[in-house]
Chains A and B, each alone.
Chain A
Amino acid sequence: MFARISLAAIAIALVSGCSTPSPVLGGKNISYGDNKAVELVTNEFGSTDLQMIAESMTRSLAQSGVLSGRPVVQVYDVKNKTSEYIDTREITTSIKTQLMKSGVARFASDNNAMQSQVDQLKLQNQSGLYKKNTVAKTGNMIAAQYRLEGSISSIVKRSSDYKDVFYKFSLQLIDVESGLAEWMDEKEIRKTTER
């Protein structure tokens, strides 16, 4: 009986030991924030806008019913028509990640990853460095059934007291064979700053 209680006590001690939070070093003015917190530091394009756009587009596309049978999609760069340095690739990466995680689509190598893909195939097939039965064969890459492309534009208005920024993000899914746009959606965001 005593042995059992002792064992249980040791187990509890061990488990509670595991859950002890890691010690914090320094950092009087530094803290981790909630990555989903609404960011209103300035009225330039920010993390909340990126998350809002990615979530709204993913939901709309996943619920549209177009992506039945996990089709292969090629993602193109989103055209930035604003004067702001918005890393539009981060928006498409978020959309891609969420669609991938929900398992509704597969993605072909996009323009930027294609060079690395080709280089790797060449290396495996032409360098003579690899075991033949492990080498990826050329000519087996899966072509995309759809391409996903879009744009972001903005209208900025200023007065001495106000700054108003209106963003419009549009995205469309086009059937590569027919050239038809099978799905399209847009997200509008308005941000106003008062001096």
Chain B
Amino acid sequence: MTVDTEKLRNLLTSVEKPSRYTGGEYGADAKEVAPFYFCMAFPDLYEVGMSNLGTKIVAESFRRRGYSADFCFTPYRDFGEGLRREGVPLYSLALKKPLGEFDMVGFSLQYELCYTNMLYMLDLAGIPLRREERRGGRYPLIVVGGPCAVNPEPIADFVDIVFIGDGESVDADVADIYLECGGATEEFYARISRLDGVYVPALTTVKYAKDGRICGFEGITRVRRAIVDDLDNAPFPATQPVPNLESVFDRSIIEVMRGCYRGCRFCQAGFIYRPVRQRSVETLTWQACSLIASTGYEEVSLNSLSTGDYPKLRQLIRSLKENLPADVTLALPSLRVDSFDGDFAQDARRISLTFAPEAGTQRLRDVINKDITEDEIINAAKSAFDMGYCAVKLYFMCGLPTETDDDLKGIRRICDLIKGAYNAAPRKKALRISVSVSTFVPKPFTPFQWERQITKKEVEERHELLKKLLFIRGVSLSLSHFKTSVLEAALARGDRRLSSVIENAYKKGCILDGWIDEFNVEAWEQAFAECGISPDEYTRERGEDEILPWDFIDVGIDKNFLLRERRAAYSAKVSGSCLKKCNSCGLMSRCPAARGEI
């Protein structure tokens, strides 16, 4: 069965941005007849999801096996309500096939606040939300992956399979086994649960003590992350669909490296994507050329967690300039201040440059292992100003472990120094500094995974101080909302009991929680209260001897290494980049840098 969008004409003409729902993207490709149908569902709006490279890589891995891979995104409320009114199930974009008719529907969980969107999409598709409710029915396998999958426990009751780690091969391996077993049989689950990167929540039981804390796991008690060693030979979509409407990142994206050498202690991505793996200049050049030719984009973004650390960046830029059309610009969105180089920034649009000192003082930057100095920040800004930049965005966090008012005052000091550097020479335009301060959220698999999140009162006090400190000409301040941060913290370090809270919040109308205008804090508070669960239980400091909800997942990082890093943080001791010295994180055998190959 396919959904006839012609019959949805009246609905489409009455909703905002109807081209989100029509499909027909140039370059979109989904086989109509295939042995296995996979729908890559993205739990956020079309323009966000279409910017995501990971989902396209996963879809490509299915296509390479001869399977059909289509896409679906969270509809905005107007379209979702319209689908319900018309009695039409949520459908995929290319095939217009209801989600319920796929063999596998995979959600890419990029951030915790998208969990209700997943339930919303299942609900719109007519698929029961809970795994138990689907048992015995003809429903697709509901699977999840992405960075949030490293602690899948809050959504474990909703899904059949969790993919942990790199999705280039294991996802499609599961499809192979599904076909071999003739469906989701017991044999199927037994076989896939032996694969690296596959977690079957039904096969693991969590044991709770009387005080509500976890006292153990039963069943499958160890799940290893899937790691792709060779990115050059990993599936990559050389052609990609061009979004119907302008997406958040409306350009071609190539992934230069996966992982990061730096080990900033707050950064989950810096740990869960270890070890650092690189693509070769040759591979990246053909990928960029292929994408530009097949999409018509005018810009290529060189993405990674820290593109400035790519050892052959200069060679790569030269190769891209030689091989791409002359009017194609290069964007390097993740340059650290200590890797900022005038030559790299020349190609970007010279309007605004973003730096992320994260903390205002050297002491706190050492605590978080940021490993950049004030001089490096100012020198990078000076270089940018000399090239014509007249606006700087600065990212900081508040609520970091050991933070004091002096650290917040340090943010003001950095702004003053940057202003001084700008005004030291005659400039045509006035300098604009945008300071963005987010609330620190402790995440699993980081040295700060045991830390508490600061309270609402503390956040309010620190925000007030920042507003006073940064009420200066030419500086704008943007503060993240505490109410979303606390939910993010609870869900990031949550356990299975939170599934009832998420479901309850969804039933109260909570969707699109990552969009501040849509976030309904009262509904979430009620959802927690009605389930007899306090978010404080999840935002509190955890004991180092406590069993954490994600302890059965092995991302390859040694827990003792995380503890060593935590102690180093409290001593304000920098561990430094993996390129300088191996810190024995646990992945030495798979790490090219540890083996001295870089």
Partners in one complex: no
Interface residues of A (CB under 8 A from B): none
Interface residues of B (CB under 8 A from A): none
